[in-house]
Chains A and B, each alone.
Chain A
Amino acid sequence: MTTPLLSVENLSVSFDTPKGVVEAVRGISFEVGQERLGIVGESGSGKSQTGRAILGLTPGRVSADRIEFDGIDLRNAPARTMRNIRGRRISMIMQDPRYSLNPVMTVGWQIAEAYRVHTNANRREAKQRALEMLVTVRIREPEKVYGLYPHQVSGGMGQRVMIAMMLIPGPDLIIADEPTSALDVTVQLQVLAILDDMVRDRGMGLIFISHDLHLVSSFCDRILVMYGGQIMEVLDTGAMHRAEHPYTKGLLNCLPDLARRQETLPVLERDADWLLSRDGAP
């Protein structure tokens, strides 16, 4: 692993609800360098809140011993510092372009805006950059797509627009929060390939959040397996078969083997005892 871009120590996110405090993330620690880190877990495992807490964009209460990005302490950073980091240094790709793009603005304008926030570029320069970016994410008629509204583009194209928008200011770290879960299977692979190329070409760090362990293992260098707001196991993707934790094994067995006939699918094992030991991360 290279020198870490981002170090997180003992991060917790909790929500005050009328029924009491809900702990979404319970004291997790990890580091990311210029690599591709996968975070895998089921719904409610706290993986999305981890991503949002890094950017300071969760409505929940965040506490951590350390959230450090490139020497900057993000825990109590002033709003101005955070705004300069968001988009420009750390960016985030969201799940569903149907909801994550503003419905009343053209997609081109939204991409250009992401560039203009962090530069002194005028409208024309920003548009030029946005058009180039559309080409980079393999959109064939950039001039035409630039003027389209989100409801006029397909899911796959919308997600490529999202990638263009989040990469245009040239961030060092990308958090991709289920970037392909809302897409058709065939489009998923195209979008992943584009994301893969761009991360590789630009030497960015990537945090890839997903519920799909197989997808993540084919795409990332390392994987954090989360359950109940804690890290269960950290794996190198080359050593998936060496997974020890019963939860990870359960996730791996979720996909039925086409070569082997199986009458019943295994039920994912969950055990509250896993959450008792606070030293989930090795």
Chain B
Amino acid sequence: MAPNAGGVKTSSDAAEQDALPVPPSPVLARVAAIAKHASSILLTFIGLTAITFIIGRVMPADPVLAIVGDRASQDVYDAVRLQLGLDKPLIQQYLIYLSNIAQGDFGTSIMTTRPVLDDIIRFFPATLELATIATIFGVLLGIPMGVLAAVNQGRLIDHIIRIIGLFGYSVPIFWLGLVALLVFYAGLGWLPGPGRIEVYYDGIVETRSGIILLDSALQGEWEIFRNALAHLVLPAAMLATFALAYIARMTRSFMLDQLNQEYILTARVKGLSEGAVIWKHAFRNVLVQLITIIGLTYASLLEGSVLTETIFAWPGIGQYITTSLFNADMNAVIGGTVVVGFCFVGINVLSDILYRIVDPRAHD
């Protein structure tokens, strides 16, 4: 992540001096950099599958027993064991597992008796919808709050924002969720209760992306869109509170750091307005650091927030993996973990690329 790694720099300097008469082709250098990046991503993925594989094998839950049950005969047990390939050497089992994953085959869930991939395709969009909206609100509110707090450091507004942040950070989400339901659903009746959509709207919109807002909007079902949106408000607000608190806190600290830099004095000496100093000069530098923070927040929300999904009966990936875990449904747990892990790595790669675009120091 560090743009200038000291040790590497000296060696490349030396290489540069040696190769001075023939400068290396910039295209070749770029291709090499991309290849290096891609191979490190690939290694991360392989590590991820290896770890999930090992966890799946060392778990005390016997996969054969989970399928055949306690009272099956030894013959049946052995037959299933053979069928699952558990008699083969570990490394061969891993390779089979890897090639299955590559084909999108995570096995069958015992609990739902469907292929795990089908389950994930059903459950994941609910989490994606929630996490995306929560992150958007966390960013849209958290960044201005953080900047406002930093600019007014030590004044009343700073303290108010700090208290809001502390609240979002430390109040347990299950309590906040229940109180919100109690007030806005049971008490005031402004918002609908748990679930993604009212039961009587179920199945009207054809599932394409699995994201109800998107599907209903594309099919012109605006009544359903409004209903889904209303359902989304509370759970998204819970997660957004957390995202907002974190993003605001980090923005404040990054901003304070930048405002103390000398180039800020330069900008003021030039006669720029305070708004231009803060948003044009300081914030551009804050943004470089924030990209990573926002990426990590989004990725962690995509893992699925079990508590929020449980309280709001939100059929998301967090709830799916947790329920599977309690039922010793290892195919589902590992399949879900691999998919979440892929998302996590994917978002990190994305934020890394964005970071390189925004920060000129990372260009070369």
Contacts and interface: CB of A to CB of B under 8 A. Distances in A.
Interface of A: 52, 55, 57, 79, 83-88, 91-92, 94, 96, 99-106, 113-114, 117-118, 149, 151-152, 162, 165-166, 169
B269 A166 contact: yes
Given A149-B360, A149-B361, A102 B263 contact: yes
A88 B274 CA distance: 16
Given A102-B281, A104-B285, A104-B288, A94 B266 contact: yes
A156 B279 CA distance: 29
Contacts of B358: 104
Given A94-B262, A149-B360, A102 B270 contact: no
Contact of B270 (A52, A104, A114): A114
A218 B300 CA distance: 62
B99 interface: no
Contacts of B263: 99-103
B284 interface: yes
Contacts of A165: 266, 270
Contacts of B272: 83, 113, 117
A117 B361 CA distance: 26
Q: Which secondary structure characterizes the binding site on chain B?
A: helix
A57 B281 contact: no
B300 to A, nearest CB: 27
B271 A85 contact: yes
- Which among B265, B288, B364 has the highest number of chain A CB atoms within 10 Å? B265
Given A104-B284, A151-B360, A91 B262 contact: no
Contacts of B359: 104
Which 7 A-B residue pairings sit nearest by Cβ, starting from the closest? A87-B271, A86-B271, A99-B262, A149-B360, A87-B270, A102-B263, A114-B270
Contact of A103 (B265, B267, B273, B360): B360
B268 interface: yes
A15 B271 CA distance: 24
A16 to B, nearest CB: 12
A117 B262 contact: no
B contact residues, range: 20 to 34
A148 B222 CA distance: 51
Contacts of A118: 271
B269 A86 contact: yes
B219 interface: no
A152 B4 CA distance: 13
A83 B271 CA distance: 4
A83 B273 contact: yes
A149 B284 CA distance: 14
Contacts of A92: 269
29 contacts: A57-B269, A83-B273, A86-B269, A86-B270, A86-B271, A87-B271, A91-B270, A94-B262, A94-B266, A96-B262, A100-B263, A101-B266, A102-B263, A102-B266, A102-B281, A103-B263, A104-B288, A104-B358, A104-B359, A104-B360, A104-B361, A105-B281, A114-B270, A117-B272, A149-B360, A151-B360, A152-B364, A165-B266, A166-B269
Nearest to A58: B265
Interface string B281-296: 1001100100000000
A151 B361 contact: yes
A99 B272 CA distance: 18
Given A104-B285, A151-B360, A151-B361, A99 B271 contact: no
A50 B265 CA distance: 15
B261 interface: yes
A61 B360 CA distance: 37
Contacts of B269: 55, 57, 86-87, 91-92, 94, 166
A91 B281 CA distance: 18
Contacts of A100: 262-263, 265-266
B163 to A, nearest CB: 24
- Which among B265, B266, B359, B364 has the highest number of chain A CB atoms within 10 Å? B266
Contacts of B270: 86-87, 91, 113-114, 117, 165-166
Interface string B326-364: 000000000000000000000000000000001111001
